[in-house]
Amino acid sequence: MAHTPDSILKDIKQKKYLPIYFLHGDEPYYIDSIAEELEKRIVPESEKGFNQFVLYGKDTDVTGVLSYARRFPFMSEKQLVLVKDANKLGGIEQKDQLARLEDYAKNPAPSTVLVFCFHANADERRAYIKAIHANGAVVPSKKMYDNKLPDWVTSFCQHEGVKISPKAVLMLVDNIGNDLKRLSNEIRKVMVNLKAGEGIDAAAVERFVGISKEYNVFEFQKALMVRDVLKANQIASYFSANSKDNPLAPILIILYNFYSKLLLVHKSADKSEKGLAAELGVNPYFVKDYVTACRNYPLPKVANIIHYLRECDGRMKGLDGVTIPEGELLRELVFKIVH
């Protein structure tokens, strides 16, 4: 059976434990979340000193880990052996050590919960991983695509029992990106400051996440959308003066995604709010923004803007052999977009 981070977390909360977990991938959020949930639940706080072992890959090897896993818990039903940075584990690429791990995975100790936090993408075709899959769980944790982030933020907030407005969702996603750990931390930071029954709106995000009310990517995109030349240039100047907190690369990605969606709007046969929301994969709340932008940017202009964005990205990376300050590139890009 294929396991997902959400299905594993659900099972753990229902006290359905497996003897061995292999958590791997380039998204640390789910790896850390599953490990933390197991740490909270497997061993009671009073027993952690002698039934919970946290090992680090750089400090041990496969044989050392298995020696802990084969121990019996002290006056308890379960013990937890948690291996952090398992991708740095000694012997993880040696045939003899992997053979021992495979043998253990085929017959894991029933009183041990062994967890590998492998912070890299692993080849699930390898024999030892197949053995873990047969008797435990192999859980991939992949970086989330940008277009999935709004739904993730909304779902996270629902799980935490708080409502969030579509604008607040977009502000968080646009300004933080696909760093799920930071997104979750920032949402919880806002929640701590809410009054009972309050939801998360744009004002709360501005206040508690530290996003400027006027000078943020959301407002920048909005200014470009309505071709507000003055405001777009004011925000671009602010970004240029604060380039450390407002690097050009994420801004280009956001603008590229926006204008790519404008192409879809122009070409869509169904121009209804519901039809466009489905076509774009966005909340219907934002459809009117794309419709407004389409009025301001005819199809040929949108195609040119996408070309300008790619050109700017190449120049930012020095592909033409010339280093140009990011602020200068951004101001030039704004001019090309709005004129």
Average pLDDT, 10 consecutive residues per value, the chain (339 residues): 86 94 95 95 91 94 95 92 94 89 96 96 94 95 87 92 91 86 92 90 88 83 92 91 86 92 91 88 85 93 95 89 87 94
How many other CB atoms sit within 10 Å of the CB of residue 116? 29
Same domain, 195 and 251: no
Report how many domains make up the chain: 3
Q: Please tell me the distance from the alpha carbon of residue 177 to that of residue 253, in angstroms, as a whole number.
A: 10
Structure confidence by residue, pLDDT tens digits, 245-283: 889 998 999 899 999 999 999 998 888 888 898 888 888
Identify the helix (H) or strand (E) that includes residue 182.
helix 180-192
pLDDT at res. 170 = 86
Q: Among the three residues 208, 233, 261, which one is the final residue of a domain in this structure?
A: 208
Structure tokens at 122: 């692993």
Q: pLDDT value at position 1?
A: 61
Backbone phi, then psi, for 80, in 5-degree steps? Answer: -115, 130
Q: Are residues 17 and 104 in the same domain?
A: yes
| Judgement on whether residues 165 and 222 belong to the same structural domain of the protein | no
On whether the CB atoms of residues 236 and 248 are closer than 8 A, the answer is no
Structure tokens at 98: 């992997």
Is residue 136 domain-shared with residue 150, that is, in the same domain?
Answer: no
Q: What is the DSSP letter of 1?
A: -
Residue 227 token pair: 């071709």
Does pTM surpass 0.85? no
CATH number, position 61: 3.40.50.300
- Same domain membership, residue 303 and residue 227: yes
d(CA 181, CA 161): 18
Cα 96 vs. chain centroid, distance in angstroms?
36
Q: What residues make up the domain containing 36?
A: 5-140
Quick: pLDDT tens for 41-70: 999 988 999 999 999 999 999 999 999 999
Q: What is the CATH number of the domain that holds 298?
A: 1.20.272.10
